[in-house]
Structure 1
Amino acid sequence: MGIGSPRSAFAGLRRGFVAIALFSAVVNILMLAGPLYMLQVYDRVLTSHSVPTLVALSVLLAGLYVVMGTLDAIRSRALVKIGHSIDLTAAPSVFARVLREPLSKNPDPASRRALSDLDQIRQFFSGAGLAALFDLPWIPIYLAIVYLIHPVLGLVATGGALVLVAIATFTNHRARRLAAAASAAGAERAALAEAARRNADVIAGLGMEGALGARFAALNDRFLGASARASEVVGTAGVVTKVCRLALQSAVLGTGAYLAIDGAVTGGAMIAAAIIMARGLQPIETVVQHWRSLLSARAAYRNLKDELTGTSVPEPMQLPPPARALRVDRVTVLAPESRTPLVLDASLSVSAGSIVGVIGASGSGKSTVARTLVGAWTPVRGRVMLDCAPLDQWPRADLARHIGYLPQDVELFDASVAENIARMEASPDAEAVIAAARSAGIHERVLSLPEGYQTRIGECGSILSAGQRQRLALARALYRDPFLVVLDEPNANLDAEGEAALVAALEAVRRRGGIAVVIAHRPGAVRVADQIAIMEAGRIARFGAREEILGARAARPGGRRAAKAASLAVANDATDVKAAEERA
């Protein structure tokens, strides 16, 4: 499994954790060096007044501390690298999930924050909370050593440990719900802010700033309230845990002093027991202080678990480039999060070298057909095939090279003109980029830009006019001469020059043996089509040669007026449709 495979994200995690556990074992054993040094100083050096013994013990202790510090630093760096490795391996799959989510039949809102969840997991690996979790199993061993010094001291330490565990359990119970509420409110707040940013012009034009500002303020208040309460719970628990641990250390010292007065333990043993107990219980304090990050990382892992540990779907075998036909076989399509069919039992068959016009009223299912033809939406029944091969049998990257798509709502990226035309390829083919721009009739306009094809066009192509954005998106659809070109309302923002370039581009697709599907609201937009499909209420009501379809429309009762207008529109430029209807 290569980089980006979901299962590979955690494939080596167990081996890494075993190594971290071994480092933690050595570090925790070396942590006993300090208490044992104190024990030897009090019980041996002070009684014997031996300076050489003191020097030898001190040198040994210094060496052990150097080793311990080195291993602890290595452990921390290893955890950071594991976190980065998970991010590096899983990020492509997570990003693919983010792209798939809007197209899913059952969208998961959690997918919208998948990348931030991955960041949360990586940050948790970089923090002190995870390292403390590896130290927790050593608490019984530290307590056992205290028991060996004296059972009474062991009982005091055990009682204190139970108190700290109770505090941690309470913190988990309270903070988990508050953290979940804060996360949900934060996701809603971020979604509203992103929607407002995308529609800033509409908001400004319609004076919606106040209404949306009030809604954002309410969500923000809910988020801050839940977040503050969660922080208060974790912060208070951390303070209480710290105070309890310090008090317990003093209690062990006091109890040890009483036992030393009785002669049950030595002074060195008393101090060593207090230090060992404090060190043994410190991981609980650290975990409580980092409890919120632990909860966040756990929630993020659960959200991404299926993606990170799921089985990879085998990539379909590479197929020869399509060259013969497009076939739609009884296709039924539902919109995401909907059970109502937008397209029902649609069928058509188109040979290479054809231009097909799909016309119909608004809401008849035309754009749904476009999305289905390019594989953006998957039919719930039926198949779309290129050269008898269903779209899902093509490797997605290969299929994308054979399809060009101009959506009704043009979206461009904040990148250069060349990168947008080349579909954001890392190394665009300059000749293919220029050829596509010429086909769309935008080459000269691009050359007039400050940096030509390297000019950044801003978010959504902000430096271009609506017509220029439309033609740039048309060039993107025509890049590398795809076999199937699907254009949804391609002349929506075009002037006469743009219309001429569009017609020339469609003729070029026909001449080179491709297939062009033009979605349009009016017949005039498909005047160069060989075949026409008429959509009515989600069905392809009629499909055939242009002359036959127009004749059928004329033959219907009450259809002569519409047919005459359509014929005039086909004969004239699309901009003259209204005049044609008036003349009819």
Structure 2
Amino acid sequence: MAQRNLLEKILKAGRQQFPSLFVLSFLTNLLLLVSSIYMLQVFDRVLASGSIDTLIWLTIIAVLAILSYGFLEFARRKILSRNSTWIVENLSPEILRRNVSARLKVGRSPASLGDVRDLRNFVGGDAILAFFDAPWSPVFIAIIWLMHPILGVIAVTGAVVLLTIGILNDVITRRPMAQSNAHMRQVYGDAEAFVHNADVLEGMGMTETVAQRWRQRYGEAEREGAGAVEAALILYNMSRSIRLGFQIAILGAGAALVLRAELTAGGMIAASIILARALSPVERAISAWKGFGSYRLAKAKLAHLFRITDAPADRISLEKPKGRLSARELRYLAPETQEALIKTVTFQLSPGQICAVLGPSGSGKSSLCRLLVGAWKPSFGEVRLDGADMQEWPSEERGRYVGFLPQDVDLFSGTIAENIARMGPVIDEKVLAAAQKSGAHDMILSLPEGYETQLGLYSDQLSGGQKQRIGLARALYGDPSLLVLDEPSSNLDGNGEIALQKALQLMKAAAQTVVVVTHVPSLLKQADKIAVVNAGTMIKFGDRDEILKDMIPKDRVPHQKPHAAE
């Protein structure tokens, strides 16, 4: 239950700093009255009495108060900064984990780490200070009212007008800005994808076309929110003009009251300064409203992400499985389109058996692989390893017993050794054993830095075949009971295929259960079983020789000619 409400817990823990910030805001706003009080005393007391000593002591007190204000202002900004950093550090890993879960469960994630950044920008920035300062505006207005009711009426009117502009700003800009931000985030995501496929774009002369297309989409996203931005700018500048107008009004009214002997000259100047301070938080809140809108939208998206994903549950750890794999009435529907990628699949493998999966492109072989390793949750049916449902195991524990080589191998930022160790602690003996078993050891040693060679998303120092062999070593790391290999020879040369055949022999000798998607005849020799998949349905499953015999067309079987009668 605690994990399920982690977002609320972290945000609630962050809000625990608000009482201290509220007190600091009260003190800082109180100290901001110093300049008004100083002016009031100088005009009404010092100039009237001509006392230099009074001026000196007033100046010393004012300077000390301003220094105190600077210290308290630094303190509350430091609290905000540390609080926002703490929220990001504690929330980001969970958001990353749930992003992966949502991507596999519903096809895409409704939130991202960018939303965490929006939370931080608001919680740790100047925008939230406007909201902490706003409650003290009535206090300043009350002080002005005590100085004279007419000045109080002007101050109240100014606050109401600016507050109305703030509400109007929210009504006009909230929805368009939310839509524009979502569109803009998608546009920047497309830009990252283009950079990731730079070789394809440049090799096929698509760079300029793609850049122009991206520019068009970027312009559409900008125009989508341009109206809201212009409206916000108009309202913000209007609020500034109105605030300056009310300051002139209060000076004029104060001057009239001075002429009527109902107010002192110092009171007139002080009232103008206090009004500026009273209206400033309201004006700042208008400019900060965009940040608050982003915060509110980000919080809603993160809350939605937590609703559609499950927290890891505490379960009893199971012993290492022997490798008995069974799939019963598997069916999988694409999360967004509800298209049936896998329609009917049922089979069973004993520990140590190798099953080759055959089928045309688009028949569902890769989808089946993701179901078998537990990456995807079946829409119907189940996959079990030694009788335990794949979905009942936590991902970290299941991963120790399962090795997966996808068709497209991506390696992560870190060394080759770290990639083979699945980005966990590098245990040298296990890394070397996996590399040797996959046939990648000599290839890795031939690299300039060997196992310490740094990799990453944009690393271009490895060929597709080298990446595939490192990916196979990663799948073999820790001697898992089940290995699922999706087209493991697609990028391999002759030596790589020989190494793969030897690796399959070692897997069989180690009694590891293997499911391998392949069209290479030499790899079929290692198989005990063959499964044929077509249009998401397993149409054949059985012993290798029997399936191959059934797949050979009858007209290709040589017929013996009858002996001529003697």
Question: Under a length normalisation based on structure 2, what TM-score does the superposition of the two structures give?
Answer: 0.91
Q: Helix, strand or coil: the match of 1:104?
A: helix
Which amino acid counterpart does residue 316 of structure 1 have in structure 2?
R
Could you say which residue in structure 2 is the equivalent of 1:510?
Answer: 508
Could you say if the C-alpha distance between residues 210 and 62 of structure 1 is closer, same or farther in structure 2, counting changes exceeding 3 Å?
closer
SS of the equivalent of 1:304 reads helix
2:69 partner amino acid: M
SS of the residue aligned with 2:501? helix
Deviation, structure 1 residue 191: 2.8
Residue 307 of structure 1 deviates from its aligned partner by 4.4
Q: How does 1:99-248 map to 2 (within 5 A)?
A: 99-108=100-109, 110-111=110-111, 114-226=112-224, 229-248=227-246
Mapping for residues 355-504 of structure 1, pairs under 5 Å = 355-425=354-424, 427-457=425-455, 459=457, 462-504=460-502
Contact 2:354/2:513 (8 A) holds in 1: yes
- Provide the rounded CA distance (Å) in 1 between the counterparts of 2:83 and 2:108: 30
Does the CA-based 8 Å contact 1:4-1:89 persist in structure 2? no
Q: What per-residue deviation string (whole Å, max 9, x for no partner) do you get for residues 359-389 of structure 1?
A: 1222222111101011111101111111211
**Separation in 2 of the partners of 1:355 and 1:73?**
66
- In the TM superposition, residue 461 of structure 1 has moved relative to its aligned partner by 5.1
Shift of 1:252: 0.7
User: What per-residue deviation string (whole Å, max 9, x for no partner) do you get for residues 131-186 of structure 1?
Assistant: 01111111222112211111111111111112212222333233334423431332
Per-residue CA shift, 1:231-258, capped at 9, x if unaligned?
4433333333222222211211110111
Counterparts of 2:5 and 2:492, CA distance in 1:
41
Distance of aligned partners of 1:550 and 1:259 in 2 relative to their CA distance in 1, 3 Å threshold:
same
The 1-side partners of 2:367 and 2:17 are apart by 48
Deviation per residue, 1:204-243 (Å, 9 max, x gap):
3433334323311211222343455544433333333222
Cα distance per residue 1:297-333 (max 9 Å; x no partner): 3222222234479984434332222125112122211
Distance verdict in 2 for CA 1:409–1:562, change over 3 Å: farther
Amino acid at match of 1:485: L
Query: Secondary structure of the equivalent of 1:130?
Result: helix
Q: Is 1:69 the equivalent of 2:70? A: yes
Higher mean displacement: 382-391 or 322-331: 322-331
Report the equivalent of 2:276. 278
- The 2-side partners of 1:394 and 1:563 are apart by 48
Q: Which moved more, 1:543-552 or 1:445-454?
A: 543-552
* Partners of 1:105 and 1:334 within 8 A in 2: no
Distance in 2, Cα, partners of 1:106 & 1:449: 37
Distance 2:12 2:315 in 1: 23
> Take 1:131 and 1:104, find their aligned partners in 2: how far apart are those partners?
39
Query: What corresponds to 1:544 in structure 2?
Result: 542
Aligned ranges 1:43-58 → 2 under 5 Å = 43-58=44-59
Shift of 1:402: 1.1
The CA distance in 1 between the partners of 2:474 and 2:557, in whole Å, is: 34
**Deviation digits for residues 26-74 of structure 1, max 9, x if unmatched?**
2222222332333333333433444444333333333322222211111
Q: Distance in 1 between matches of 2:264 and 2:51?
A: 18
Residue equivalent to 2:554: 560
- How many residue pairs get aligned? The number is 556
- 1:124/1:277 Cα in 2 relative to 1: closer, same or farther (>3 Å)? same
Please name the residue that 1:25 is paired with.
26
Q: Please list, as runs of the form range in 1=range in 2, the aligned pairs for 1:306-385 lying within 5 A after superposition.
A: 306-307=304-305, 312-385=311-384
Q: Which runs of 5+ in 1 are unaligned?
A: 565-584
Q: Which runs of 5+ in 2 are unaligned?
A: 559-566
Distance in 2 separating the partners of 1:55 and 1:305:
57
SS in 1 for 2:478: coil
In structure 1, the partner of 2:266 is 268
Structure 2 vs 1, CA of residues 354 and 312 (structure 1 numbering), >3 Å: closer, same or farther? Answer: closer
What whole-Å deviation, never above 9, does each CA across 1:384-413 have from its counterpart, x for those lacking one?
A: 111211122212111111111111122223
Residues 7 and 312, structure 1, Cα contact 8 Å, conserved in 2: no
Does the CA-based 8 Å contact 1:356-1:532 persist in structure 2? yes
Q: What is the SS of the residue equivalent to 1:12? A: helix
2:338 and 2:173 mapped to 1: Cα distance? Answer: 38
1:458 is displaced (CA, Å) by 5.2
Question: In structure 1, what is the Cα distance between the partners aligned to 2:555 and 2:24?
Answer: 85
> Could you list the per-position Cα deviations for residues 536-574 of structure 1 after superposition, in whole angstroms to 9, with x for gaps in the alignment?
3222222222233334446xxxx435799xxxxxxxxxx
Conservation of the 8 A alpha-carbon contact between 1:415 and 1:456: yes
SS of alignment partner, residue 381 of structure 2 = strand
Letter in 1 for 2:318: L
Equivalent positions of 1:522-537 (< 5 A) are 524-537=522-535
- CA distance in 1 between partners of 2:66 and 2:243 (Å): 24
Once the 2 structures are TM-superposed, how far is the Cα of residue 265 of structure 1 from its aligned partner? 2.1
Tell me how far apart the structure 1 counterparts of residues 78 and 26 of structure 2 sit (CA, whole Å).
16
For 1:105 and 1:521, the matched residues in 2 are separated by 31
Q: Do residues 298 (structure 1) and 296 (structure 2) align?
A: yes
Q: How much has 1:345 moved relative to structure 2?
A: 3.2
CA contact (8 A) 2:481 2:513 kept: yes
CA distance in 2, matches of 1:446, 1:130: 53
Q: 1:337 to 1:306 in 2, by over 3 A?
A: closer
User: Do 1:329 and 1:383's aligned partners in 2 also have CA atoms closer than 8 Å?
Assistant: yes
SS of 1:290's equivalent in the other structure is: helix
Looking at structure 2, the residues matched to 383 and 405 of structure 1 have their Cα atoms a distance apart, in angstroms, of 18
Q: Which secondary structure state, in structure 2, belongs to the residue aligned with residue 330 of structure 1?
A: strand
Match of 1:568 in 2: none
Change (3 A) 1:63 1:205: closer
Displacement of 1:440:
1.5
Aligned counterparts of 1:98 and 1:562: Cα–Cα separation in 2: 52
Q: Does structure 2 retain, via aligned residues, the 8 Å contact 1:10–1:308?
A: no
* One-letter amino acid matched to 2:394: P
Mark the CA change 1:311 to 1:395 in structure 2 (over 3 Å): closer, same or farther.
closer
SS at match of 1:93: helix
SS of 2:454's partner is coil
Give the whole-Å Cα distance in 1 for the aligned partners of 2:450 and 2:9. Answer: 42
Contact 1:550 / 1:563 at 8 angstroms: preserved in 2? no
Larger mean CA deviation between 363-372 and 521-530 belongs to: 521-530
Structure 2 CA distance for aligned equivalents of residues 561 and 27 of structure 1: 94
Distance (Å, rounded) in 2 between the aligned partners of 1:548 and 1:251: 98
Matched residues, percent identical? 37
Distance change in 2, residues 1:474/1:106 (3 Å):
closer
Q: Could you tell me how far 1:269 is from its partner in structure 2? A: 2.2
Question: 3-state DSSP class of the match of 2:221?
Answer: helix
Aligned to 1:525, the other structure's residue is in SS state: helix
